[in-house]
Amino acid sequence: MKYDYDVIILGSGPAGFSCAMQSSKFGKKALVIEANEKYLGGAWINTGTVPSKALRETARIIQRYHNQFPDEENIKPYAKYEMAELLSYKEKTLKSKNKKVAKDLKKNEVDIYRGFGVLIDPNTVEVKNGDGETKKFTAEYILVATGSKPIQPKNFKLDHNKILDYASILTLTHIPRRLVVIGIGVNAIEYATTFSKLGTRVTILNENDTFLRWLDHEIAEQVHEILADNKIEIVMPTKNIRIKDNDIRNVTEVSYQIKDDKEPGRKYVIETEHVLYLGGKTPNTKNIGLDKVGIKLDKEGFVKVDKDMRSSVESIYAAGDVVGFPRLASASFTQGRIASCKMFDIARLEVEAEIPYGIYSIPEMSNIGLTENEAREKGLDITVGRAYYKNITQGDVSNQQTGLLKLVFDTKTLKLLGIHIIGERASDLIHLGQAVMSLGGDIRYFINHVLNYPTYSELYRVAAFNGINRVYKAGVKYKKLLK
C-alpha cells in the first residue's frame, strides 16, 4: 500500500465518525485523529447536541409531571430539585455515548490516535500528542472534520461562573432563579424554555432585528404565545450589552440599549443571577495547515466544498461545522458519509437536498420544505391544512395541548411542499411527512392509510382532512377523491 491509510479523518464528531464508519464498511483502512485527550464525539456528545438535550429532557419530564399533578403550593422546580440530580442523567448519557462511539470505531477496526493534527501536504498529517511527541501519517484521502468553536463576546468576558457559555452552563451546581440569555437563535430558545420549565425567570437579549425568521408565520405566532405564557421576555434589537457584578446587591447587572430607541441612548439594566452567552460559532480552520496545502476558505473562514464535500484540493474533503451551514449534527452525519462515498467512488448513497430542521425548545419545533409565505411568493397555487394538538386524543391523554401541525400542499395535485410543526415530539413527527414528501406522495396518504390511534401522528390525518376540505370547499366532497 502506497499510504499508511486509505483515509485519515481529523476529528471524531458526527462528520468524522460517520466518514470513518462508512469507510470501514467499504473495507477501507481508516484512522481517526482526535485532539481531545479524554473524549470522542466532539460537540455532538460532549458540549452540544447530546448534553443539552439530556438536560432538556429532564426539564420536560419535570414539566409534564407538574402538568399532570399540579402542586397546590406551587413550589417552583428550582426549590425542589438539585441541578446535580438533573445533570446526573446527562453524565450517564455522556459516559454511555462516549463508550459507544469508541466501541463502534474499534469494532469496525478504525484506528484512533489522540493529538492535534496538522496537514503537511495533500496526503500527510502530522500529529502532536499530549506528551509533545509528533508523528506523521499518510493516506490517499483526508477528511477535515474539526468542527467549530464559539465566538467570544466583544464587550464582556466569560468567567464560566456568572457568565457562562453553552459548555459551562452544563456545570452549574444549582438551578438559577434568574437567567439572561444573550443569543439570536435556536440554542437561545432551547435553553430559555428549558430553564423556564425549571422555574427560572428568563430574558433573551437578541442583537438582531428578527428572531427565528425562517419559521412559518403561524408557527412563529405560536412561539411568541408560548414565550409569553412562560413569562420569557425577548428584547430586541439590543446593542451595547455590558455586564458587571454588583457586590452590594450580590447580583450580576446586564445593561443594554435598544437600537433605534424612541429615547436614544437610554440604558436599560436587568439584575440577574447568571448570564448565558450563546453567540455565533467560528470554524476550527486555523493552524491546521489548510493554507499550506492550498485549501480555499470562504469569507467567514469555512472550508469551501462542492456537493461531494470535496475541497479545492483533490485528495482533501471536509464535512460538518467546518463547512458552514447548517452546522447540525444531523447534517454532519450525512456529510461525512457522502464524503466517504465520493472518495471511494461508491455513489449509490445519494442524499435528498431537502433536510428537516429541529428546534428542541419546550415544546419542540420542526419543519421541512416551503413555508406558506415562501410558496405564495413563488406564485404556487397552494392550500394549507392545519391540525391543533388540543383537538387530538393523544394531546388530551398526555396533557400536551399546545401546538400545531401545518401542511402546505399543491392545490391541484395535493403534493406535499412543506410541513411545519410546533408541539410535543415535533422533531420525530416530521419524519412521517418527510418520507411521504420525498417519495413524491400527497396528503391523501394520511387519509388512505390507517394510523395508530391515539398518536401524535393523528395530526397528519386531521390536517390532511382540513386541507382537502378547503380544496373542495365542503366537508363531504372529499369522498369523490377517496375513490
Ligand X SMILES: Cc1cc2nc3c(=O)[nH]c(=O)nc-3n(C[C@H](O)[C@H](O)[C@H](O)COP(=O)(O)OP(=O)(O)OC[C@H]3O[C@@H](n4cnc5c(N)ncnc54)[C@H](O)[C@@H]3O)c2cc1C
Output 29 or 327, the one with its CB closest to ligand X.
Answer: 327
Q: Where would I find the H helices in 345-425? A: 372-377, 393-397
Q: How far is the CB of 388 from ligand X (least distance, A)?
A: 25
For the sheet with 416-423, list strands across it: 357-359, 365-369, 416-423, 403-410, 382-388
Rounded-to-integer distance, Cα 465 and Cα 445, Å: 11
Output 194 or 457, the one with its CB closest to ligand X.
Answer: 194
Q: How far is the CB of 81 from ligand X (least distance, A)?
A: 21
Q: How far is the CB of 336 from ligand X (least distance, A)?
A: 7
Q: What is the DSSP letter of 213?
A: T
Q: Which three cell numbers stand for residue 445?
A: 396518504
Determine contact, residues 124/236, Cβ cutoff 8 Å: no
Rounded-to-integer distance, Cα 117 and Cα 408, Å: 47
Reported in sequence order, the residue ranges of 355-438 that DSSP labels E, i.e. its strands, are 357-359, 365-369, 382-388, 403-410, 416-423
Tell me the CA end-to-end span of the chain in Å, nearest whole number. 63
Rounded-to-integer distance, Cα 218 and Cα 222, Å: 6
Q: How far is the CB of 190 from ligand X (least distance, A)?
A: 7
Output 189 or 464, the one with its CB closest to ligand X.
Answer: 189
Output 187 or 252, the one with its CB closest to ligand X.
Answer: 187
Q: How far is the CB of 16 from ligand X (least distance, A)?
A: 5
Q: How far is the CB of 20 from ligand X (least distance, A)?
A: 11
- DSSP states along 27-75: T--EEEEES-SS-SSHHHHHTSHHHHHHHHHHHHHHHHHHHHS--TT--
Output 11 or 363, the one with its CB closest to ligand X.
Answer: 11
Q: How far is the CB of 198 from ligand X (least distance, A)?
A: 17
Applying CB under 6 A, which residues contact ligand X?
Answer: 10-16, 33-36, 42-44, 48-49, 52-53, 116-117, 145-147, 166, 187, 284, 288, 320-322, 327-330, 332, 360
Q: What is the DSSP letter of 323?
A: G
